[in-house]
Amino acid sequence: MINDELWYKDAVFYEVAVRAFKDSNGDGHGDLTGLTEKLDYLYELGVDCIWLMPIYPSPLNDDGYDIANYYNIAATFGTLDDFKALIDEAHKRNIRIVMDLVLNHTSSEHPWFQAARADRNSPYRDYYVWSDTEDKYRDARIIFIDTEPSNWTWDELAGQYYWHRFYASQPDLNFDNTRVQEEMINIARFWLDLGIDGFRADAVPYLFEREGTNCENLPETHAYLKRLRAFMDQNYPGRILLCEANQWPEDVRPYFGDGDEFHMGFHFPIMPRIFMALKKGHAHDMIEILDRTPAIPESCQWCIFLRNHDELTLEMVTPQERQWMWEQYAPEPRMRLNLGIRRRLAPLLDNDRRKIELSHSLLFTLPGSPIIYYGDEIGMGDNIDLPDRNGVRTPMQWDDSPNGGFTTGRPAIESIAGKLGYQHLNVARQLADKDSLFHAISKMIRVRKQHPVFGRGRMEWKETGNPAVLAYRREYQAETILILNNLSEASQTVRLEA
Ligand code: BGC
């Protein structure tokens, strides 16, 4: 592999739901060997780093973000040996792999929680956050507002309430307990020793709770994350931490520290504003949020995305903007979930090839490293009949054979029917057609990779005198690139100063 410690600044990332990607053994579930078989496809697309959604044993109340064992792989995904084979094969192609590390909570089925609830004197009791009443930490918001009435749930066996920021089946760990802190470092060590290139650290703002605060982004949380980073730098240089903090830019900024906390952080607020720009035909909202985004240390990088496995979150917009986004992009109530929109990229953009390419032009040229959600490179659709976020986690559509080439068995997850079904829209067809969306995106990726300015360069807006055309200059070392995006339906004329 190319040995550059700042590799993530130039990389194109690709998020994979292993469950939905490729089944190698006909049991109906996507698995690690299936993903290994498809590495050549990802290589052809131009991907540098894969992010694996959780692959740990789990009761799947939250699609694997509810972990029951941090030291193994769910049987349907394969074995630790399959995992090592995947890493080896990926590395041979100069592709890195990062995986989800869920620090904030476990599954309620995790043996720690089972021991904790069964016995007040168990050493595991204090691994979680308990209370006799529901009165503590009232200022913490509820995140899954569609399903959770409270962040506290009564546990009959324990005889107390326990704290959880997500589903009740995901009790929060108590990071005030130094043994919990150690456990997570040991877990990280285990996967790093297997060769993983880093972690997407899930839901990090919520690690600690303090009365009188909203229990997000607390100094104690940053102190612990810095410790995790120091551990990685000391023992595993070149491996990265990617921060999932769905927060305003000024609140994400501290997660980069002085270059001693996270290497990368998702830029959540720019995402809905890209969709606003595409609909409004001007980029005022994008400009405003990027101007408000603080500078980050040289060694750090934003990670930008159009869609991911969750709902298109509308937490980082005003209530009026959220209403507008719902009206524009989620006309049917069942398209909404919590404070977001549970739809995929192509249907959101009316399956309009020009809009899809324009959105990728923004994704690949704005400051940061881009991440593509599996299937968006072929314009895959969604299935809003499926509950929760499952409608955007349907099987990858490889070809027009039964089940779209996802499995030779009975698929454990439902696919998409209709004109975006695998019979019409699939990888094989797009690979064979040089004018397909796949080839257009893979070409954009190749262009991006020829010019380090996209990952590393400074950015400056350029006045065009025409709000429909968003122009900016990227500059790095001897190279300067001018980028123009026409956000309107029609041809536009602009005048640019030299
Ligand atoms: C993940 C979600 C998950 C939640 C709880 C998030 O930020 O992206 O899919 O439900 O964390 O783990």
Distance CA 282, CA 269 (A): 17
Q: What is the pLDDT of residues 304-355, one digit of tens each?
A: 999 999 999 999 999 999 999 999 999 999 999 999 999 999 999 999 999 9
* Closest by CA position to 137, among listed 82, 67, 218: 218
Q: Which pLDDT score, from 0 to 100, does residue 248 have? A: 98
334 secondary structure, DSSP code: G
C-alpha of 153 from chain center: 28
pLDDT of residue 13: 99
Distance from the alpha carbon of residue 166 to the mean position of ligand 1, in angstroms: 8
Residue 59: Cβ within 10 Å count = 14
Q: Best mutation site among 65, 173, 244, 388 for ligand 1, i.e. most ligand atoms within 8 A of its Cβ?
A: 65
The one catalytic residue among 202, 209, 216, 376 = 202
Take residue 396 and report the two structure tokens written for it.
């990858």
Q: Where are the alpha helices (DSSP H) in 318-371?
A: 319-329, 345-348, 353-365
Q: What is the pLDDT of residue 497?
A: 82
- Measuring from atom 1 of ligand 1, which residue has the nearest CA? 202
What does the pLDDT read at residue 316? 97
Q: How far is ligand 1, taken at its centre, from the CA of residue 81, in Å?
A: 27
- With beta carbons less than 8 A apart as the criterion, state whether 148 and 128 touch: no
**Would you state the pLDDT for residue 206?**
98
How many Å apart are CA 359 and CA 355, to the nearest integer? 6
Res 1: pLDDT: 72
Q: How far is the centre of ligand 1, averaged over its atoms, from the C-alpha of 344 (Å)?
A: 17
Report the nearest-CA residue for atom 12 of ligand 1: 65
Is residue 392 within 8 A of residue 8, CB to CB? The reply is no
Residue ranges in 38-162 assigned as alpha helix (H): 39-45, 80-92, 111-118
Protein residue closest via CA to atom 7 of ligand 1: 203
Q: Mean pLDDT in the chain? A: 97
What is the C-alpha end-to-end distance of the chain, expressed in Å?
A: 40
Report the nearest atom of ligand 1 relative to the CA of 389: 9
Give CA separation, 116 vs 125, 164, 173, 414, in Å. 4, 15, 11, 37
**Closest among 463, 272, 299 to 362, alpha carbons compared:** 272
| C-alpha span between 310 and 307 (Å, rounded) | 8
Chain-centroid distance, C-alpha 104: 16
Tell me how far the alpha carbon of residue 46 lies from the centroid of ligand 1, in angstroms: 27
Length of the chain: 498
Q: What is the CA radius of gyration of the chain?
A: 22
DSSP letter assigned to residue 206: G
Q: Are 405 and 422 in contact (CB under 8 A)?
A: yes
Averaged pLDDT, groups of 10, the chain, 498 residues long: 89 98 98 99 98 98 98 98 98 98 98 98 98 98 97 98 98 98 98 98 98 98 98 98 98 98 98 98 98 98 98 98 98 97 98 98 98 98 96 98 98 95 98 98 98 98 96 97 97 90
Give me the residue label for tokens 């068995």: 409
d(CA 320, CA 323): 5
For residue 35 the two structure tokens come to: 């993903």
* Strands of 312-313's sheet in order across: 312-313, 340-341, 336-337
Residue at 268: amino acid letter: F
Is 244 catalytic? The answer is yes
Give residue 137 CA to ligand 1 midpoint distance, Å: 21
Closest Cα to atom 2 of ligand 1 = 310
* Residue 471 host element (H or E): strand 469-476
Q: Which residue has its alpha carbon closest to ligand 1 atom 8? A: 310
pLDDT at 291: 98
Q: Which residue has the tokens 């990227």?
A: 474
Residue 315 is among the residues annotated as catalytic for this protein: no
